[in-house]
Amino acid sequence: MPLPLPNLDDRTYADLVEEARSLIPIECPEWTDHNPSNTGIILIELLAWLTEMALYRVNRVTDKNYETFLKLLNGPEWKLEGDLKTAIRETVLELRKSDRAVSCEDFEQLALAWKSDKIKGQVRRSRCIPERNLSQTDSVVRTRKAPGHISLVVVPESIEKEPKPTQELTNALMEYLDEWRLLTTRLHIVAPDYVHLKIRAQLYLEDGANHKTVQDKAIKEVENFFAPLNSHTYWNGKGWPFGQNVYISELYQLLDRLPGVDYVQGVTLDVSGATTTELKKESEVGSIEIAVYKTEGFAVGNMIRIDPSSSDQEYHIIAEVSSDGFKLVQKLEKNHALGTTVVNLKNYDVVEKSTDKSQLLVDRVDGLAVGDKIRIFAGGDPKDVKIKKIDDSNKRISLEQSLDQAIDTRPVFQILSWREVRTADNSLTSIILNDNELVAVQVDNNSFTMMEQRGGEWKPITNQAE
């Protein structure tokens, strides 16, 4: 719909005559005959008529004006050929074509429109992040403001779960965009970073529901929900939005809507990649033993977190591992229901005593990030501190707070990731993603514990962890 032209002057013939008549006593007091037969009044009416015609022309854009403006847009050599309306439409369509890369939208549209006969594949999604250099390997440098730099994150057409552009595609796209960018712009084409998300939940089924059908549907819907491409009914089929946080409430809503599901409990999100299992029977407060479905990947001295996404979570050290479960160093403080998730927290060993009480020298730093919270046992008492800086080359961790004493060889546990947003009672609400990140969800038959009522009690249908 075209924009309405403004009315530059809406005065009519009558308005002009009346305005002129009102000025006679001020400008010429001796003029007292204002009858229509008066020569002066006749002259006022004639000038008002001519002025009204001039105002009419002011409020009109002639064809010649359009033609002149089109010549300004198309260049001095342009000439009108054919219908004027057709020429206007063609000029507007030509202006909408991206033939330069200045704004982020320009880079994104050019990347999506780019095609190559030599390179297999096409860019399906693109996200431009200004003033960032995401080609840097240092995680801290990647987050810093970089004036003059632009990072273009591209997702190619692919059937892989984590689609990333090949080096050949990246080079060809860079060569293409290099023709359109400003000389002062430093362009970096990068693949998205994928945040690996592990999901667990307990699905309480309606009477008569087929647990295998519900399980398969849950896996399919969760995979579609987080898919980087072809997300079907979610996100208009375009895939999980770049940098959108993952809210645990959305998972509850998605799973609760599944046919055959009565209600959902115990949804947990894990981004650490740690080994997990589930309680195969309810644990009792005051006990030092818990029964779990699997114990592979757990060892004596490991720290576990029970019910990690709720306010009832507990941290415990494993004293003994058996085929049926664990013995703990300390007694349980709360009851935990059947199917509750148990996470084996990542541990890192301090390999050398540091003279600086705000630093730790560890065996490795993979999986750690600035803002993570770690737990250290210094003098027998646990101390939770946040990571301020990580030196990858020297495997040195700088802490936000100094310890009471320098730490020698002992384990350090990663208890919370900087990505985890929690309430005051420590319940998990969401997982934070950066602008260049997408989700790679890990979901399978072991992700959902299917619960049914037997004898008036809720019980698992099968051992989901096996």
With helix as H, strand as E and coil as C, how does 253-320 read?
HHHHCCCCEEEEEEEEEECCCCCEEEECCCECCCCCEEEECCCCCCCCCCEEEECCCCCCCEEEEEEE
Handedness of CA 281, 285, 289, 295 (dihedral sign): positive
SS3 assignment, position 233: coil
Per-residue model confidence (pLDDT) at position 379: 61
38 strand-pairing partners? none
Main-chain phi, psi angles of 113, to 5 degrees:
-85, -15
pLDDT of residue 93: 86
State residue 204's pLDDT score. Answer: 95
One digit per residue, the tens of pLDDT, for the chain of length 466 reads: 455 656 667 889 999 999 999 999 989 989 988 898 999 999 999 999 999 888 887 777 778 888 898 999 888 899 898 898 899 899 888 887 777 889 999 999 999 999 888 887 799 999 999 999 999 987 778 888 999 999 999 999 998 999 999 999 999 999 999 999 999 999 999 999 999 999 999 999 999 999 999 999 999 999 999 999 999 999 999 999 999 999 999 999 999 999 999 999 989 998 877 888 889 888 999 999 999 988 999 999 999 999 888 888 899 999 999 999 999 999 999 999 888 899 999 889 888 888 888 889 999 888 888 899 999 876 667 888 999 988 888 888 999 988 887 777 778 899 889 899 999 888 999 999 999 999 999 998 888 989 999 888 888 886 444 4
Cα separations (Å) of 123 from 45, 149, 198, 305, 437? 69, 21, 28, 41, 16
- pLDDT the model gives residue 55: 84
Q: What is the pLDDT of residue 386?
A: 93
Q: The tokens of 24 are what?
A: 């006679």
pLDDT of residue 464: 45
Q: How many other CB atoms are found less than 10 A from the CB of residue 38? A: 13
| Alpha carbon distances (Å) from 151 to 98, 127, 134, 200 | 19, 8, 6, 34
Q: How deeply is 194 buried, as exposed, middle or buried, from its count of CB atoms within 10 A (0-12, 13-18, 19+)?
A: middle
Of 137, 134, 140, nearest to 187 (Cα)?
Answer: 134
Q: Are the CB atoms for 83 and 67 separated by under 8 Å?
A: no
Confidence (pLDDT) at 465: 41
At residue 4, the pLDDT reads: 65
pLDDT score at 295 = 92
CA distance linking residue 7 with residue 61, whole number of Å: 12
Question: Quick one: pLDDT at residue 433?
Answer: 95
- Whether the CB-CB separation of 185 and 148 falls below 8 Å is answered with yes
Angle subtended by helix axes 39-58 and 13-27, to nearest 10? 130
Indicate the burial class of 164 (C-beta count within 10 angstroms; 0-12, 13-18, 19 or more): middle
Q: Are 383 and 396 in contact (CB under 8 A)?
A: no
